[in-house]
Amino acid sequence: MRIFLTGATGFIGRAVLSELLQAGHQVIGMTRSAEGARALEAAGAEPHHGTLEDPASVRGGAEKADAVIHTAFDHDFSRFAENCEKDRRVIGTLGEALKGSDRPLLITSAVGIGGNGPGRLAREDVFDDAHPIPRIASERAGNELLDAGVNVAVLRLPQVPDTEKQGLITPLIAIFREKGVAAYLGEGRNRWAAGHLGDVARLYRLAIEKGQPGARYHAVGEEGVETRQIVETLARGLKIPAVSVPQDKAAEHFGWMAMFAGIDLAASSALTRETLGWQPDGPGLIADLEAMRYA
């Protein structure tokens, strides 16, 4: 297939790009810079200049593709709600370009949207429309497109680590460096699901090749790692103390990260594995954190 890939030069997008090219697909990769275009050409992809702030520029890439994978996202989490709304607009524009055809669109969301109640694993067959995570805007946009006849599916991400970046853990490390302590809320029993970067990239490929309209897939290799274990691992790497922070001090200590610090984001990928034959085999989250260079 000729696949338009947004975010093709990003952390996840680069891995997806490599996976798609190795599988024999042609890739049109979106980039905002000349440097990114050169990198895409060197990798064997066709560059397409576009930005999330200009949805029309994104639409141009979708119009010349057989399928679209949307991984691009503005990861300034201090403006998370605003960036989720920007993602909603881009998804709507991509869908407009694909209307009237069966060309698939695979969008990206977060496993928390499949929340199944306190203490339960998030599931692919659950859509929690009342979930407080602003990323729900992406799935609402996908639902609107599905109702309009667009062949859209969703890939939900957990924390995606390698030894370079780790999703929400990357900005958490910056907070720990600033504060001089590594902190978890209360007993630190809330859990975060994780999926290794290589496994996640392979799932994007399988989902665009085999996915069904309206399906939701979870890129989860580990259902839930307790935040206390994560924080204590980071503390050893950073050579700082690990401490507990009371729930009522979350905003004071974590700032904008307080919305995530105490939330339970454990999730299952049982349905994803069954329907797509996906078997993650990459290193676990703690193994990647232990292998990082913290200096």
**pLDDT at residue 137, as a whole number:** 95
Q: How many residues does the chain have?
A: 295
**Residue recorded with tokens 């979106």:** 30
- CATH class assigned to 169-192+223-266+282-290: alpha beta
The whole-number average pLDDT for the span 88-99 is: 97
| Contact (CB, 8 A) for 174 and 138 | no
Q: What is the pLDDT of residues 190-212, one digit of tens each?
A: 999 999 999 999 999 999 999 99
| Contact (CB, 8 A) for 121 and 224 | yes
Opening angle at CA 190, ends 189 and 191, nearest 5: 110
The whole-number average pLDDT for the span 209-225 is: 97
Same fold, 2-160+194-221 and 169-192+223-266+282-290: no
The whole-number average pLDDT for the span 162-168 is: 83
pLDDT beyond 80 at 295 = no
The residues with which 222 forms a beta bridge, in sequence order, are: 194
pLDDT beyond 80 at 89 = yes
Query: For 57, left (φ over 0), alpha (ψ -120 to 50), or beta?
Result: alpha
Parse the chain into domains and list their residue ranges: 2-160+194-221, 169-192+223-266+282-290
Q: What is the pTM assigned to this prediction?
A: 0.95
**pLDDT at residue 162, as a whole number:** 83
pLDDT beyond 90 at 166 = no
**pLDDT at residue 286, as a whole number:** 96
Q: Residue 64, Cβ neighbours under 10 Å: how many?
A: 12
Percent of the chain at pLDDT > 90 equals: 86
Q: What is the DSSP letter of 124?
A: T
pLDDT beyond 90 at 126 = yes
**pLDDT at residue 164, as a whole number:** 81
Distance, in Å, from the CA atom of 72 to the CA atom of 195, rounded to the nearest integer, reads 18
Q: What is the pLDDT of residues 37-73, one digit of tens each?
A: 999 999 999 999 999 999 999 999 999 999 999 999 9
Long-range residue pairs from 139-142, CB within 8 A, at least 24 positions apart, any chain: 139/107, 139/109, 139/113, 139/216, 140/88, 141/87, 141/88, 141/89, 141/91, 141/92, 141/95, 141/107, 142/91, 142/107, 142/109
Distance, in Å, from the CA atom of 128 to the CA atom of 122, rounded to the nearest integer, reads 9
CATH code of the region 2-160+194-221: 3.40.50.720
**pLDDT at residue 234, as a whole number:** 96
pLDDT beyond 80 at 78 = no
CA 53 to chain centre: 19
pLDDT beyond 90 at 163 = no
Q: What is the pLDDT of residues 4-44, one digit of tens each?
A: 999 999 999 999 999 999 999 999 999 999 999 999 999 99
Percent of the chain at pLDDT > 70 equals: 100
Query: Which alpha helices (DSSP H) does the chain contain, by range?
Result: 11-22, 34-43, 55-63, 80-98, 136-147, 169-179, 197-210, 227-238, 250-254, 258-261, 270-276, 285-291
Tokens of 147: 């109702």
Closest CA to 253 of 166, 186, 168: 186
* Relative orientation angle of helices 80-98 and 136-147, to the nearest 10 degrees: 20
**pLDDT at residue 161, as a whole number:** 85
Q: What residues contact 43, with CB distance under 8 A and at least 6 apart?
A: 17, 18, 21, 29
| Averaged confidence pLDDT in the chain | 95
**pLDDT at residue 173, as a whole number:** 94
The residues with which 48 forms a beta bridge, in sequence order, are: 30
**pLDDT at residue 242, as a whole number:** 97
